[in-house]
Amino acid sequence: MKVLLVDDEEELVTALAERLSFRGIDADWSTSGSHALELAEAQAYDVAVLDVKMPNISGIELKKRLEKTRPDMKYIFLTGHGSEEDFWAGSAEASQYLVKPLDIEMLIETMRQVVQK
């Protein structure tokens, strides 16, 4: 399973990628929407885990752009805010919606479920 992690917090996204790799999941990471688009252009991913709130390109906007390049890719949104708008937008747009801080096992479980759908 190949995963693309996008979050503006580099500390978070690098640690998460490393933890996933310990568990046998191949994860690429990016801290900006434009870089994520480049990565997706270069190769295919099964799941994209996107932070909802990011500078320049938001998670929801990024998902729309990624869908054009990779129509088969699944999406999981992350949020640290959990505001009403985020919640409804996230649950409508994404296959899953998770609130930070994450439980790593739960993330992996969610990714598996999303891919199998």
Signed CA dihedral, 37, 17, 46, 87: sign only: negative
Footprint of another protein on 7-36 (CB under 8 A): 9, 11-12, 15-16, 18-19, 22-23
Which residue in the set 99, 108, 114, 115 belongs to the binding site for another protein (CB under 8 A)? 99
Which residue in the set 87, 93, 114, 115 belongs to the binding site for another protein (CB under 8 A)? 87
Smallest distance from another protein to CB 33, Å: 18
Closest CA to 47 of 32, 58, 36: 36
Rounded distance between C-alpha atoms, residue 105 and residue 117, angstroms? 19
Rounded distance between C-alpha atoms, residue 8 and residue 50, angstroms? 10
- Does position 81 interact with another protein (CB under 8 A)? The reply is yes
Q: Residue 9 is encoded by which pair of tokens?
A: 């917090």
Closest CA to 2 of 17, 78, 10, 11: 17
Smallest distance from another protein to CB 83, Å: 6
- Does position 72 interact with another protein (CB under 8 A)? The reply is no
Using CB under 8 A, list all residues that contact another protein: 9, 11-12, 15-16, 18-19, 22-23, 80-84, 87, 99-102, 104
